Amino acid sequence: MRILAIESSCDESAVAVLDGQRGLLGHSLWSQVDLHRAYGGVVPELASRDHVQRLLPLVRDTLAQAATEPAQLQGIAYTAGPGLVGALLCGAALARSLAYGWRLPAIGIHHLEGHLLAPLLESPAPEFPHLALLVSGGHTMLIEALGLGDYRLLGETRDDAAGEAFDKSAKLLGLPYPGGPQLAALAGHGRPGACVLPRPMLDRPGFEFSFSGLKTAVALAARAQPLDEQRRADIARGLQDAIVDTLCAKALRALDATGHRQLVVAGGVGANRELRARLGAALAERGGQVFFPRPEFCTDNAAMIAMAGLLRLQAGERSGADLNVRARWPLAELRPPLQ
Ligand code: KG4
Ligand code: ZN
């Protein structure tokens, strides 16, 4: 089976072509980051208008890249939620229209299931059951992935997500939007131990996180003068160390509690080099395995939506012809493929 996939849940327009036998044949992405920079965050209406303009040319380019004619496709997947409702509708409307015109089945995919399945695009790929640490701009979750569509939430953040803590702290340090990756780069110049920030909720049992206090700690640390380049780098290092320590400790605790030996790390913060290095070393030491998507598939992309779509379409699941996208959609509502 070969399918086309469209992702448009936030500020990235992305398209991919995935073949069940030959793997990923093409993928492209248009980032709207320049469009939203002046506002310091994503402006939903501007995002929708840009998706309308970008998606169809991206579909053409990606099909050409994949040397694929519409007649060679057996299905279309699109992100149906959660996300910005206008942005989601752009991708869903295009996907449904193409599916209608080309007489193909279509399937609406949960964006977070896409992130969770992104490591299946790599080799070696993880197997079910496994533990997943999902760390993005909107979510921080520890999940037992028992099978496709069978996800058990062990714990999540009570307030800010890990990516949000990176982004908000970057803003406090005067870094340009979007701040997470910039803060991580600055942290590389920071001195270990020069700025020690709290490890929230580490002393409490369980698998919950809390990152909102960290931005206050960063704001206080940034008040000390002079806030020169070295001090900013030290604070960035302190913040990254606090987040990475907390994520590693809770992920290892969840591995101990569940007995899983495979850990999947997904979502934008999974692109963080320090987190990758630390978890890689910790899992090697305990004889387990950690699986990351390549960094470009940690952040939003259509290849991950294609992977989720392929598995569900292959299992015989199809979505109806209505455009029922969902701005909010708890992961726990997902089920294994419907025949
Ligand atoms: O998964 P994603 O692309 O979008 C959501 O679905 O949220 O994640 C974006 C988040 C942002 O908060 C961004 O700052 C963070 O991932 N991020 C990083 C890095 N690259 C992206 N955080 C830390 N280090 C990075 N290298
Ligand atoms: Zn995402």
Q: What is the mean pLDDT of each run of 10 residues along the chain (339 residues)?
A: 98 98 98 94 96 98 98 98 98 98 98 98 98 96 98 97 97 91 98 95 92 95 89 98 98 98 97 98 97 97 98 96 92 89
pLDDT in tens, 254-306: 999 999 999 999 999 999 999 999 999 999 999 999 999 999 999 999 999 99
Q: Which ligand is nearest to the CA of 273?
A: 1
The H or E element that residue 155 is part of is: strand 150-156
Q: Taking a C-beta distance cutoff of 8 angstroms, is the pair 153, 143 a contact?
A: yes
DSSP string covering 275-299:
HHHHHHHHHHHTT-EEE---GGGTS
Nearest-atom number in ligand 1 for the CA of 300 is: 3
Nearest-atom number in ligand 1 for the CA of 275 is: 24
Query: What is the residue with the minimal CA distance to atom 13 of ligand 1?
Result: 180
Q: Provide CATH code, domain 2-117+297-333.
A: 3.30.420.40
Q: 138 CB under 6 A from ligand 1? A: yes
Distance 161 CA to ligand 1 centre (A): 10
Between CA 294 and CA 124 the distance in angstroms is: 12
Distance 192 CA to ligand 2 centre (A): 30
From the number of C-beta atoms within 10 Å of its C-beta (0-12, 13-18, 19+), residue 332 rates as exposed
Between CA 118 and CA 120 the distance in angstroms is: 5
Distance 270 CA to ligand 2 centre (A): 11
Tokens of 197: 């920030």
Single pTM value for the model: 0.96
Nearest-atom number in ligand 1 for the CA of 138 is: 7
Do domains 2-117+297-333 and 127-292 share one topology? The answer is: yes
Tokens of 307: 């992977």
> Sheet harboring 130-135: ordered strands across?
150-156, 140-147, 130-135, 262-266, 289-291
Nearest-atom number in ligand 1 for the CA of 163 is: 12
Q: 167 CB under 6 A from ligand 1? A: yes
Distance 164 CA to ligand 2 centre (A): 12
Query: What is the residue with the minimal CA distance to atom 16 of ligand 1?
Result: 268
Q: 293 CB under 6 A from ligand 1? A: no
Distance 273 CA to ligand 1 centre (A): 12
3-state SS assignment for residue 329: coil
CA 109 to chain centroid, in Å, comes to 14
Query: What is the residue with the minimal CA distance to atom 10 of ligand 1?
Result: 137
Q: 68 CB under 6 A from ligand 1? A: no
The H or E element that residue 304 is part of is: helix 303-314
Between CA 158 and CA 211 the distance in angstroms is: 8
Sign of CA dihedral 216, 219, 223, 226: positive
Query: What is the residue with the minimal CA distance to atom 18 of ligand 1?
Result: 269
Provide the pLDDT for residue 274.
98
Query: What is the residue with the minimal CA distance to atom 3 of ligand 1?
Result: 299
Distance 225 CA to ligand 2 centre (A): 36
Going from N- to C-terminal start, the domains of the chain cover 2-117+297-333, 127-292
pLDDT in tens, 19-55: 999 999 999 999 999 999 999 889 999 999 999 999 9
Distance 178 CA to ligand 1 centre (A): 9
Out of 37, 115, 136, give the residue to mutate to test ligand 1, the one with the largest number of ligand atoms within 8 Å of its CB. Answer: 136
CATH number for 127-292 (one of 3.30.420.40, 3.40.50.620, 3.30.200.20, 2.40.420.20): it is: 3.30.420.40
Distance 132 CA to ligand 2 centre (A): 15
Q: 270 CB under 6 A from ligand 1? A: no
Provide the pLDDT for residue 339.
59
Residue 186's nearest CA partner among 227, 229, 219, 233 is 233
